[in-house]
Structures are given as C-alpha cells and as structure tokens.
C-alpha cells in the first residue's frame, strides 16, 4: 500500500526524527563519542521502522520531495555564503598547502572507489558513492549526490548506500585519527604533557595560547570554529539579520535555478545544488570584497544547520534499506580499503608535506576525521591528541576552515568531473 505524505506531514515526521535522534545521542555513549549526527541517529531508526512496515504489511511511503530539495539547496547555499576567500589570507600558506593536500586525496579517494567497484563487478558510479561523495562529503553530500545518481544516472540505491557509507566513515574516521597521530608523535620522541608541568613548559604553553588569542583578535572573531562543526552552540541573531540572510539565500537559490536552466545541455551542466553552492560563494565574496558588506554569519550558520538537519531527516525517512542487500559484502570491502588508504595518506603524505612536526601530526589526525567522516570528527580527533600532549593553534585554525568550507567546493568540482568520465 502506497502512502503519500504532503509537506506538512513530512515536516512533522522530520522534526520527530530529529527529536528522537537528540534523545538517542544523549542516552547512548557510543553515538556521542563518535559524533554521530542527531538526524542520522534518529533517521536510521526511522528507516528501520519503515523497512519493517514494508516487510510485514507491504506499506511504502512517499514523502514531499519539494521540501526535501529546498532544504538541501539551503544547506549548500549556506556553505557557499560562509566561504570567505579573504580568510585564505588569514590562514596563510599552510592553509593553502593543506587545501591542496586534501584536494589530491579527494581525487585519490574517487580513483580507489571507482577502481574497486569495477573489480568487484559493481557500477563504477557506486565507487564514487563509496569515495568522496560519502566519506569526504559526509551525509549531506551523500544525500544530495545520491538523488542525482538515482534520477539522472539510474544508479539504484545510491542514496541509501551513501548514507550507510557516510555513517561508517564517521566511526572509522574517529577510530583511526588518534592512533595515526600518536604513532607519529611517538616517532618524534615527544612525551605526553605531565600533570604538573615545570615553569618552562608552562611558559611555552602560555606563549602558544597567547598566539592563538592574538590570531582570533586579528581575525575579528572565531567564527570559523563555530560553523558546521558546532551546530548546537547558541547563536545570537535578530529578526532583521535573519531576513537579510534569507534574502542572500534566496539570491543563491535563484541563481542556482537560473543556471540549471541556462547550462542544460552544455559543458557547464551541473546539479542544482552545486550551482546553489557556487551562487553562495559568488554572493558572499562579491559583497565582502567589492562592497565591504558585513555578513551576518551567525544567522547563515543557524539557517544552514537547520536546513541540513531537516534534509537528512527527510532523506533517511525515504531510505529503502532493502536495496542494500546484494551490495553489503562488496561495499564493505571497498570501505575497508578506503580506510587503509586514508591511514597511509595521512601518515606518509599529510604529515610530511605539512612540516613533519607536532602540528603536522595533529593535522594528520584531523585529516583522518573529515577525510572519512566530517569536521566534528576531525575536531574530536585533534582534541584527543592535544589533551594528551600540547596545544596546536595552527591545526585548530586550519582544519575547521578547510573541513567546513573549502573541501565541499573542491569535492563538488572533482565529482562533477568524475561523473562525466566514460566508465
């Protein structure tokens, strides 16, 4: 029996999924320790219930697609509206170098995914799903590209597989980042910070913290630490700032809609959500660089995070878990290989190129976090290391900026190229 739900009922169920996810994350330590997002925790339970209803009584559900699409576009527009290229200057050459290191890994991740899928007899496009779509991209990117692959390329189960792979990546990224950094640090002979540090150690730590505070003052705020990696932080926004921000979102979405139509059938034909991201980037940097406009980032942050949560909740409600039955074995093999590649890359490439010092080891742990999972996993990995050894202001400046903003822009570009290749 087919049950169709309009936008009102879809929104009600999505908010119930989010409330369930919040409850589960608070009550189950594993979910909290590995930074499993609330929409994912609640959504997977909801997807299991939908699967049981289909299996036992034959019920299937159709949710309002327009609402899901709108929240997805809002989320990607928020990434673009937050991507201030002026911050590249604040991060200096290490930020640019780390962005390049991450970009090369995204390409490698997709090459491995496509190659493994072909070897195992799967659609090569499923290799992209188990590559940077789900792993570097996370749940939001997995849901967005899953819809594109299903509707435009006929890849059955792409969304379901993407959500499952992204969930695996969150756990795997949280498991491997700390050990990689600890092994690198031990090779350098650096011991854990003692509980009662001597005066020299205290002065060194104080100097590093002072540098960190100065950097924050130069930047004007520490917004880059508070964006998508800390969605539950309280943001002080006003009605007028919200209206201004919604106008910017509307501009980005209008640009996406227009460019989707104009570019159709040309070499510049892109998924609408990529144009939404691009529109946000153009509006953000045009307003700040040309007109010196003061963007209200806190409102953009709140709208973006709320949109992502609702989109994920609706995407998970729409999952068809029965589509994964035949893919489970081969997909697990691909994900295990991807994990090994991530460890090797962080250990031998990220660490060496970023300077082969303590900061580079912490950056390697962070790269494992968002290279397999998401920025919150990267932050948790780095905190686990710095709590045991020394602070790393450099790593905590670079990783949130690259993980929350620039990596999505690079990933969207790389994926667009890969989907056009003749597999």
Q: Mean pLDDT over residues 274-297, rounded?
A: 89
The pLDDT tens digits of the residues spanning 53-105 come to: 888 888 888 888 899 999 989 988 998 898 777 766 766 789 899 999 999 99
Chain segment 206-246, per-residue pLDDT in tens = 344 333 333 333 344 444 444 444 455 556 788 888 999 99
DSSP state of 404: I
Say how many CA atoms lie within 13 Å of 289 toward its Cβ.
12
The dihedral formed by the CA atoms of 257, 262, 264 and 269, expressed in degrees to the nearest 10: -80
Kindly tell me if the per-residue pLDDT of 145 is higher than 50. yes
d(CA 23, CA 267) in angstroms, rounded, equals: 46
Residues 6 or more apart whose Cβ sits within 8 Å of residue 378: 173, 177, 229, 365, 366, 367, 368, 369, 370, 399, 403
Paired strand residues for 61: 3
pTM above 0.85, yes or no: no
**Cβ proximity of 339 and 176 under 8 Å:** yes
Give domain limits for the chain. Answer: 83-235+325-419
């Amino acid at each position: 029996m087919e049950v169709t739900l309009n936008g009102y009922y879809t929104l009600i169920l999505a908010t119930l999924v989010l409330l369930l996810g919040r409850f589960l994350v608070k009550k189950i330590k594993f979910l909290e320790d590995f930074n499993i997002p609330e929409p994912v925790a609640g959504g997977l339970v909801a997807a299991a219930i939908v699967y049981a209803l289909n299996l036992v009584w034959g019920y299937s559900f159709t949710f309002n697609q327009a609402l899901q699409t709108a929240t997805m576009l809002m989320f990607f527009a928020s990434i673009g509206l937050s991507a201030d290229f002026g911050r590249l200057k604040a991060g200096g050459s290490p930020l640019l170098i780390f962005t390049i290191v991450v970009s090369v890994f995204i390409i490698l991740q997709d090459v491995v995914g496509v190659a493994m899928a072909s070897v195992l007899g799967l659609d090569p496009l499923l290799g992209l799903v188990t590559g940077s779509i789900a792993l570097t991209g996370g749940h939001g990117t997995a849901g967005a590209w899953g819809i594109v692959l299903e509707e435009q390329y006929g890849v059955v189960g792409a969304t379901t597989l993407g959500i499952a792979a992204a969930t695996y990546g969150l756990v795997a990224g949280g498991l491997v980042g700390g050990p990689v950094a600890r092994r690198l640090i031990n090779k350098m002979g650096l011991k854990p910070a003692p509980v009662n540090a001597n005066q020299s150690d205290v002065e060194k730590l104080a100097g590093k913290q002072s540098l960190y505070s100065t950097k924050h003052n130069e930047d004007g705020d520490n917004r880059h630490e508070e964006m998508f990696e800390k969605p539950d932080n309280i943001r002080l926004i006003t009605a007028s700032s919200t209206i201004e921000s919604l106008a910017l979102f509307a501009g980005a979405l209008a640009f996406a809609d227009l460019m989707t139509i104009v570019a159709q059938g040309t070499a510049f034909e892109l998924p609408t959500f990529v144009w939404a991201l691009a529109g946000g980037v153009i509006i953000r940097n045009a307003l700040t660089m040309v007109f010196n406009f003061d963007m209200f980032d806190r409102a953009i942050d709140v709208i973006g995070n709320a949109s992502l949560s609702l989109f994920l909740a609706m995407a998970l409600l729409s999952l068809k878990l029965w589509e994964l039955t035949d893919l489970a074995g081969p997909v697990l093999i691909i994900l295990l290989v991807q994990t090994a590649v991530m460890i090797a890359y962080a250990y031998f490439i990220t660490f060496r190129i970023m300077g082969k010092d303590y900061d580079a080891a912490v950056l390697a742990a962070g790269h494992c976090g968002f290279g397999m999972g998401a920025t919150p996993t990267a932050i948790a990995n780095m905190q686990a290391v710095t709590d045991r050894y020394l602070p790393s202001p450099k790593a905590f400046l670079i990783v949130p900026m690259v993980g929350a903003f620039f990596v999505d822009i690079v990933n969207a570009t790389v994926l667009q190229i890969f989907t056009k290749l003749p597999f």
